[in-house]
Structure 1
Amino acid sequence: MSKTLFPSIQPQTSEAEKAMPLFKEVKWDFINNIPIYKGGSPMIVSGKDAVVVWAWKALHTPRFRHEIYTWDYGNEVESLIGQPFTEELKQSEAARYFEECLLVCPYISSVSDVTAAFSEGNLKIQASLKTIYGEVEVNV
């Protein structure tokens, strides 16, 4: 008999319980920034395509602004506006914010080849994402 009041019990989990469910998201029109409907219902994508939609939405959502999202969701790129940083520092910080934003998703394991460029008041970022479904490219 154990002499401790609270015995250490490790729950048994099977491989099926450890696997994440198939990631699903509403199909998105990236040019017009609207969901895509078919027959009055939103179209659903899964796997890599769903992760790309999630990433695109997260990168377009300012962090800490909307109460509907957790404080982990969104990005902080807007904080670079008006800062007296050099272009190189702004690009580096934008890439860091980009990476932090995306790694919140458990379906994304790594972000690589991040390039950030400011032109005509716009920030353009490209990167490769390693997901549980394979690699995808993101251009925002």
Structure 2
Amino acid sequence: MTLFPLIEAPAEEAGQSSAVLPLYREIAWDFEQDRPIWKNGAPQWVTGAQAVATWVWNTLHYVRASLDLFSWSWGNELQALTGRPFSQAVKESEAARYIRDCLVVNPYITDVQQVSVGFSGSTLSIRCAVQTIYGEVSVDVPEI
């Protein structure tokens, strides 16, 4: 169904899209310094599994809906655990669920496994294995 019934939607918009996704491309990221990598005044690009890993890193560091610039489907809701009177086990379980929920919206990610979270005061650390269409990517976020 379209807004203008006299104009037919292209086949892809009509729900007949192909299952083939284009090669995923993202700005290269320095995970230790948490910033993009530049060379000769231009950002460096990565593709495939490394690009998906960069997307995962940035998604885990962005609070969902904190800026109008990004859609609701990008970012996480881990800040919702702040100040809640949950037990440590419940916080860790909920954090793992929030992590899975925010990552599986990416069509290049097929599964999120082995999620382990740790709280140290107000700092959260995350480790997980992300299954992508390019293979497995290990993600280690020492502090959020």
Q: Which has the larger radius of gyration?
A: 1
SS in 2 for 1:18: coil
Residue 31 of structure 2 aligns with which residue? Answer: 30
* Letter in structure 1 aligned against 2:73: D
User: What is the 5 A alignment of 1:1-140?
Assistant: 17-140=18-141
* Letter in structure 2 aligned against 1:122: T
Q: Structure 1 unaligned segments of length 5 or more: list them.
A: 1-10
| Deviation, structure 1 residue 32 | 1.5
* TM-score (ref. length: structure 2): 0.84
Deviations 1:96-125 (A, max 9, x none): 010001001000000011111101321111
Residue 5 of structure 2 aligns with which residue? Answer: none
Please, what is the CA RMSD of the aligned residues?
1.5
| Aligned-residue identity in percent | 43
Residue 8 of structure 1 aligns with which residue? Answer: none
Deviations 1:2-53 (A, max 9, x none): xxxxxxxxx59xxx94310000000011122211111111000000100000
State the alpha-carbon separation in 1 of the partners of residues 135 and 67 from structure 2.
31
* TM-score (ref. length: structure 1): 0.86
State the alpha-carbon separation in 1 of the partners of residues 34 and 115 from structure 2.
23
State the alpha-carbon separation in 1 of the partners of residues 98 and 19 from structure 2.
29
Q: Structure 2 unaligned segments of length 5 or more: list them.
A: 1-10
**Which 4+ residue blocks in structure 1 deviate beyond 2 angstroms?**
none
| Deviation, structure 1 residue 64 | 1.6
State the alpha-carbon separation in 2 of the partners of residues 128 and 33 from structure 1.
20
